[in-house]
Amino acid sequence: ACVVTQGFGPDRPRPNSLLYVRDEVKGEALWFSADPAPDAWTRTVLGDDPERAPVADYFPPRGDEPAMVAPAPGLGIELPTLTVVADRTRGDVRTVRFRAESQRSAWRLQVRLPREPLAACTVGGTRLDRAALAEQTGGADDVVLHHYGAGAFEVGCEVPAGTRLPVDVAD
């Protein structure tokens, strides 16, 4: 026997989403939601008619698809840390190894790197060369790596010697 139900109602409420983002570079914080419209819960921070804007800078999987966005207060949440473990250059290749870690035991860490100029990244002992990174990103400009679970994770990146490697980490 099988029972199939669909739809939402008082006994089966529709799930909703609300994400808090603090951008230290821009010096701003915001709320955003991918929901189609504010509900009683999200309206408390998004308002009745929130702006719709792309949020790919903060949540790359959305791409250019807009989300509801509203300014948020600074909540004093500890930022994740990024520690350079090793940085060496041999010939024309610079290898940078770093550790990303949540200071508040967040369930997920996200590291974002520009796909260019990456020659390769090593994550969890697996080396991803330029072709694998391009495939992983689906052709997007950024490589986004996710770590699920408490604790730190290490990433090693190879770039041309003398190249700056911007790294964005979020939890």
* pTM, entire model: 0.79
Q: pLDDT tens across 4-19, in order? A: 667 777 887 778 889 9
One-letter identity of residue 148 = Y
Give the CATH fold of the 81-170 domain. Answer: Immunoglobulin-like (2.60.40)
Q: Where in the chain is the domain with CATH 2.60.40?
A: 81-170
What pLDDT digit, counting tens, does each position of 100-144 carry?
A: 999 999 999 999 999 899 999 999 999 999 999 988 877 778 898
CB pairs under 8 A, 24+ apart, for 77-82?
A: 77/20, 77/22, 77/104, 78/103, 78/104, 79/22, 79/24, 79/103, 80/106, 80/109, 80/169, 80/170, 80/171, 81/169, 82/167, 82/169
